[in-house]
Amino acid sequence: MRTAILASGRGSNLQALIEAINLGRLPIEIVAVGSDQLGTRALKRSEDAGIPTRVFPINRYPDRRAQEEDILNWMRENQVQLLLLAGYMRVLGPDFIAQVNFPILNIHPSLLPAFPGLHAQRQALEYGVKVSGCTVHLVDEGLDSGPIILQEAVPVLAGDTEESLAQRILEVEHRLYPEAVRLFVVGKVERFGRRLRILQQEGLE
Ligand code: GRF
């Protein structure tokens, strides 16, 4: 499955996906990595893995629609069949979502629908929850609101800072994202309205 990834920053989830592919655990091919930011670690990691990259800096376009049009063309050129967001820090507009006729997946560092949007780990700490986690979901027009593929809980500990909690969640993200993408692309995810069921995993919805 020809896959594009959009990543804005560090790219550790991108790296986890690349490693899962290299280990034969994830039957997709990353054909292109795009970013809205120049000079990021995500781009460096892609280049090191031999994956072509493209940068779409927002300030080089008259508006968001023009930037998203460019991303759409780039995906068409690359005959993309699946788009994975991996720390892409811009919200994709409804026109973009409507024009993409293949799945878009995202990973978010909270147990959605709690704490959507930016700084999910800070939101969790400030709220005082005892458990947070991460969520892999399909992207729809809303903010982190699409149907959920997999979630995993991570404890919030007494001495946690935003950084320590983010790090503990990130370790789970690196396992959960490749696994959710795998289940999705091998057809183990069945859809009932907005509920997604994982096939052949007793007890897991
Ligand atoms: C991760 O916490 C991810 O859940 C969120 O942004 C962060 C990206 O980290 N969407 P990285 O760039 O993959 O290291």
Q: pLDDT tens, 169-200? A: 999 999 999 999 999 999 999 999 999 999 97
Cis peptide before 113 (omega within 30 of 0): yes
Q: 154 lies in which domain range?
A: 106-205
Q: 77 and 111: one domain?
A: no
- Tokens 């811009």 label which residue? 90
Q: How far apart are CA 123 and CA 121, in angstroms?
A: 5
Q: In the chain, count of helices (H) and strands (E)?
A: 6, 9
174 flagged as catalytic: no
Residues 29 and 89 placed together within one structural domain of the fold: yes
| Domain identity same for 75 and 121 | no
Q: What CATH number corresponds to the domain at position 44? A: 3.40.50.170
Q: Is the dihedral of CA 144, 57, 100, 181 positive or negative?
A: negative
Is there an atom of ligand 1 within 6 Å of 133 CB? no
Q: Among residues 100, 105, 88, which one has the least CA distance to residue 43? A: 88
Co-location of 74 and 113 in the same domain: no
Number of C-alpha atoms within 13 angstroms, CB side, residue 114?
Answer: 19
Nearest CA to ligand 1 atom 8: 87
48 vs 64: CA distance, rounded Å: 29
Strand 148-155, strand 131-138: pairing: antiparallel
Cβ of 17 less than 6 Å from ligand 1? no
Q: Considering only CA atoms, which residue is closest to atom 14 of ligand 1?
A: 12
pLDDT in tens, the chain (205 residues): 999 999 999 999 999 999 999 999 999 999 999 999 999 999 999 999 999 999 999 999 999 999 999 999 999 999 999 999 999 999 999 999 999 999 999 999 999 999 999 999 999 999 999 999 999 999 999 999 999 999 999 999 999 999 999 999 999 999 999 999 999 999 999 999 999 999 975 555 5
Pocket perturbation via mutation, ligand 1, pick of 6, 10, 13 by most ligand atoms within 8 A of CB: 13
Q: How far is the CA of 44 from the centre of ligand 1 (A)?
A: 16
- Ligand 1 pocket, 165 CB below 6 A? no
| 81: Cβ contacts below 8 Å, ≥ 6 apart | 1, 2, 3, 102
| Domain end call among 58, 86, 102 | 102
What is the DSSP pairing of strand 104-108 with strand 82-85? parallel
How many domains does one find in the chain?
2
Angular region, 81: left φ>0, alpha ψ -120 to 50, beta rest: alpha
Q: Please tell me whether residues 142 and 166 are part of one structural domain.
A: yes
Give the HSE-up count for residue 185: Cα atoms under 13 Å, Cβ half-sphere: 21
Q: What is the DSSP string of 140-178?
A: -SSSS-SPEEEEEEEEPPTT--HHHHHHHHHHHHHHHHH
Q: Ligand 1 centroid to 86 CA: how many Å?
A: 6
Q: How far is the CA of 58 from the centre of ligand 1 (A)?
A: 20
pLDDT tens, 132-151? 999 999 999 999 999 999 99
80 shares its domain with 137: no
